[in-house]
Amino acid sequence: MRIAHISDIHANYGTDFNKKMFEKGVKLVNKTKPDLIFISGDLTTDGLLPEYELAKESLSLIDGEKAVVPGNHDERNLGFKLFPEFFGDATFIKEFEK
C-alpha cells in the first residue's frame, strides 16, 4: 500500500500559501499514485470561509482517496464549524486488506 502525507498547506490569499509550490507537490503526489492521501491539518491559516474554499479547491487537484483531519489553524474563528461542511467528519476508521 502506498500512502502520501500532506500537512500545513495554510491555504489563504496572503503570503502563507505558495500556490505554485503546492501545484508542484500535487504533480509529485499524483505521479506516485498513492492508495490514500492523508492530510493532517492546518489546511487554512485562520479557519476562514475563503480559506476553506481555497483549500477544498486546491486539494481537489490531488487524485485519489483522501483522509483529512483538522489542525489547530483550521479550528480558529468559526473554522471548527466549517471543517465538517468542507471535508466531512474528522472521525473515521478505514480498514485495508493486507
Q: Are strands 3-6 and 66-69 parallel, antiparallel or unpaired?
A: unpaired
Counting DSSP H helices and E strands in the chain, the numbers are 3, 3
Whether residue 9 contacts residue 42, with contact meaning beta carbons closer than 8 Å, is answered with yes
| Whether the predicted pLDDT of 92 surpasses 70 | no
| CB hemisphere CA count around 81 (13 angstroms) | 4
pLDDT tens sequence across 24-71: 999 999 999 999 999 998 999 999 999 999 999 999 999 999 989 999
**Whether domain 3-87 has CATH 3.40.47.10:** no
- 58: nearest Cα among 11, 5, 15, 90: 11
Residue 94 pLDDT > 70: no
